[in-house]
Amino acid sequence: MDRVILVEVHSGQIQGFFGPRVPVDNLEANLVALNYFVEQKKIPLRNIVVISPDAGGVSRAKNFQALLASVGVKDLTLAMIIKQRKQAGEIGSMHMVGNVQGKQAIIIDDIIDTGGTLIEATKVLKKFGALNVSCFATHGLFSGKALENISKS
């Protein structure tokens, strides 16, 4: 193997598992999200808050925020949800950091597995006054009843 190319690696430390002679590239999917929201005009491009659903995704959300700003989106802010788990696959609590009141929220995430984080994050955002919530995730695993649960939420 002489090169590894990853798409939206979940943890940057993974790049360190390859030997020093194997370059590792991590491709971000933010340009796909930008196309979806901006060029496809999926939501009005004003009064937007970009959301990281956990502390580990803040840089991904900031990068997407910068892309939106680069194409002229105004009234653009960033917020984060602090998620604490009881155990693997079970959310204990979620807390909002930032202001979403009266804004269009766009959650930027790398993985949707069971949909639990997405569903609970949406509830938190709506509770704190987000007008609507959209989501972009790179890897949709949709384990178990994830699609059904998301569509019911």
Q: Which residues are catalytic, by number?
A: 83
Instruction: Tell me if 106 sits within 8 A of 49, measured CB to CB.
Output: yes
Instruction: Tell me if 48 sits within 8 A of 72, measured CB to CB.
Output: no
What is the DSSP code (8-state) at residue 12?
Answer: G
Buried b (16+ CB within 10 A) or exposed e, 7-27: ebbeeeeeeeeeeeeeebeee
Show contacts of 68-74: CB within 8 Å, 24+ apart: 68/34, 68/37, 68/38, 71/34, 71/38, 73/38, 73/45, 73/46, 73/48, 74/46
